[in-house]
Amino acid sequence: MIEIVDVSKYFEKYPAVKNLTLTMNEREVFGMVGTNGAGKTTLLRMIAGILDCDGGKILIDGENVRNNPAAKGRLFFITDDAYYFMNATPEDMKTYYSRMYPGFDEQRYIHLADSFGLDRNRRISGFSKGMRKQLSVILGICSNAKYLLCDETFDGLDPVMRQATKSLFAKDMEDRGLTPILTSHNLRELEDICDHVGLLHEGGILLSRDINDMKLNINKLQVVFETDEDRAKLEQLLEIVIHKEQGRLHTYTVRNTREQVSGALAQIGTVFEELLPLTLEEIFISETEVVGYDIKNIILA
C-alpha cells in the first residue's frame, strides 16, 4: 500500500501539490487524472523518492520513502519522456536495471523486446517516441518491482501497443501482485483498466473513488412521462444530480442504484423508459458538480 499523508510540494513560492492525502491499495490499478499542471507528475516523483516533500510524508508498505533505498527498490518509475544514457542500446539499459533491481528477469526482457519488435542492439536515440515508451514498459515489467509508476504511459503508443501494454499489466497483477499507478489527462484512456480513479486539480484531490462503487450508485435514465404528475412523483422519489429536457424526453443522472430506479418507475406511468450505463467521464462530471466544480472546464475542454 502507498499512503500519501498531507503532502505538499512548492517550487519557489508556487504550490505544485497542496496538503494532499491519498491511499493507493495493492493489486489495484490506480488512475490519476488531471490537466497539465494539476500535480500528477510531481506527485509521482515524490512517491518515487526523486523529489522530497516540503510537508507531509509518503509511506511505501508502511516505510517512509525518503532516503530509504529499500522502499524505493519496490518502485519502478516510467516517466513521460524517459531518460536513457547517451548512445545507449536496450541491452545497455537492461544491464543497468538488472544491477539496480536484483529480481530483474533477463529472459523475459529478451522475449518481450523481441515480441515487440525492438532491436536490442540499436541505439535508443534512433527509436521513435512509441518505441522508447515500449522499452520503458518492458524494463519496468521485467524489473519485477511491486509498484509501477506510469506517467502518461499510453501517450505515443498505437492502439495495438496500448492493448498489449494493458495485457502485460493484467498478467503481472495476477501472477505476482503488481500494482500499476497510471496518470493521464484523458478519462477515457483509463476507464477500461483502472479499479480506482483520483481527480487532481491545482495540486489537490477533488475526488478519489472506486470505479465499481461509482458505477453501481449512479445511473442515467431516459423517460417520457404519461402525465406531469408522473414526472413530479418520480423526481420526488429519486436523487437527481443532472436533469436535461428535450421535448417530451427527460434525461436524468441520478444517485440511485438500478434497483431503486426500477422501483420508482414501477410507481408511475411512462410512455418510454430506458436505463443507460454511464461513462467514467459522465460519472466524474456529476460527482464534481456536486462539490462545486465543473469538470467540463477543468479537464474535458
pLDDT tens series, the chain, 301 aa: 999 999 999 998 888 999 999 999 999 999 988 777 788 899 999 999 999 999 999 999 999 998 888 999 999 999 888 788 889 999 999 999 999 999 999 999 999 999 999 999 999 999 988 899 999 999 999 999 999 999 988 877 788 888 888 899 999 999 999 999 998 877 777 777 888 988 888 888 877 888 877 777 788 999 999 999 999 999 999 998 889 999 999 999 888 888 999 999 999 999 999 998 787 777 777 766 665 565 555 554 4
CA distances from 13 to 16, 51, 288 (A): 10, 16, 28
CB 201 within 8 A of CB 293: yes
| Structural class in CATH, domain 2-209 | alpha beta
Q: pLDDT per residue over 155-192, tens digit each?
A: 777 888 888 888 999 999 999 999 999 988 777 777 77
CB 208 within 8 A of CB 181: no
CA distance 41 to 189: 17
| Structural class in CATH, domain 214-298 | alpha beta
pTM for this entry: 0.80
Q: How many Cα atoms occupy the beta-carbon half-sphere of 219 within 13 Å?
A: 17
CA distance 219 to 275: 7
- Cα 57–chain centre separation: 21
**Which segments of the chain belong to CATH 3.30.70?**
214-298
**Which segments of the chain belong to CATH 3.40.50.300?**
2-209
**Which of 80, 37, 53, 51 lies closest to 200, judged by CA?**
37
